[in-house]
Amino acid sequence: MSQNGLRFTLDVDGLTQTATAVVSFTLYQNLSTPFLLTVDIASDRSGLTAVS
């Protein structure tokens, strides 16, 4: 399957959809345990801070 043009997006409250771009992500899941999703994003906005 060709991945040309394949793009993932991330909606962030208070930001336009074009303010961030998904660089990579990893999803860990297993039976009977919570899942963990990590997302690396890029943005041209210098004032963004990570909150977990």
- pLDDT of 3: 67
- pLDDT of 18: 85
Positive or negative, the CA dihedral 47, 6, 34, 15 is: positive
Low-confidence ranges of the chain (pLDDT < 50): 1
Structurally, the chain folds into a number of domains equal to: 1
- pLDDT of 13: 87
- pLDDT of 34: 94
Range(s) of the domain holding residue 21: 1-45
51 in a structural domain: no
Q: Confirm if 47 and 41 have CB atoms less than 8 A apart.
A: no
How far the first Cα of the chain sits from its last, in Å, is 34
19 in a structural domain: yes
